[in-house]
Amino acid sequence: MAGKTIAYITDAHLGQKIILEEEVGGRSKNMRYNNDAEENKNNLKLILDDITSKGITEIIFGGDIGTKEANKWFFDTIYKFDFKLSMVLGNHDTYSEVIKYYRAGHSYHKELNYTREDDYFRYIYLDSSSNSVSPVQFDWLKQELNSTKKIILFIHHPVLEIRTPIDKVGAALKGREEIRDILLALENEIIIFCGHYHMTDELTDRNIRQYSSPACSYQIQKSSEMIEIDSSTFGYRIIQIDDNQMNTNVKLFQKSNLL
More confident residue, 256 or 18: 18
Residue 200 pLDDT exceeds 70: yes
User: pLDDT tier at 219 (50, 70, 90 boundaries)?
Assistant: very high
β-strands 208-212, 190-194: how paired?
Answer: parallel
H-only helix segments in the chain: 41-53, 70-80, 95-98, 135-144, 176-184
Q: Which helix (H) or strand (E) holds 249?
A: strand 245-254
pTM of the model: 0.95
* Among 48, 91, 107, residue whose Cα is nearest residue 196: 91
Mind listing the pLDDT tens digit for each residue in 92-142? 999 999 999 998 766 677 899 999 999 999 999 999 999 999 999 999 999
Tell me, what's the pLDDT at 28? Answer: 52
CATH topology (fold) of 4-257: Purple Acid Phosphatase; chain A, domain 2 (3.60.21)
Pairwise CA distance, residues 166 & 221, whole Å: 9
Residue 1 pLDDT exceeds 60: no
Pairwise CA distance, residues 239 & 225, whole Å: 31
Tell me, what's the pLDDT at 257? Answer: 60
> Count of alpha carbons within 13 Å of 258, Cβ hemisphere only?
12
The answer to whether the CB of 49 falls within 8 A of the CB of 43 is no
Mind listing the pLDDT tens digit for each residue in 65-102? 999 999 999 999 999 998 999 999 999 999 999 999 99
Q: How far is CA 140 from CA 54, 135, 229, in A?
A: 36, 9, 36
Would you kindly state where each structural domain of the chain is located, as residue ranges?
A: 4-257
Please return the burial class of 233, using the count of CB atoms within 10 Å of its CB with bins 0-12, 13-18 and 19+: middle
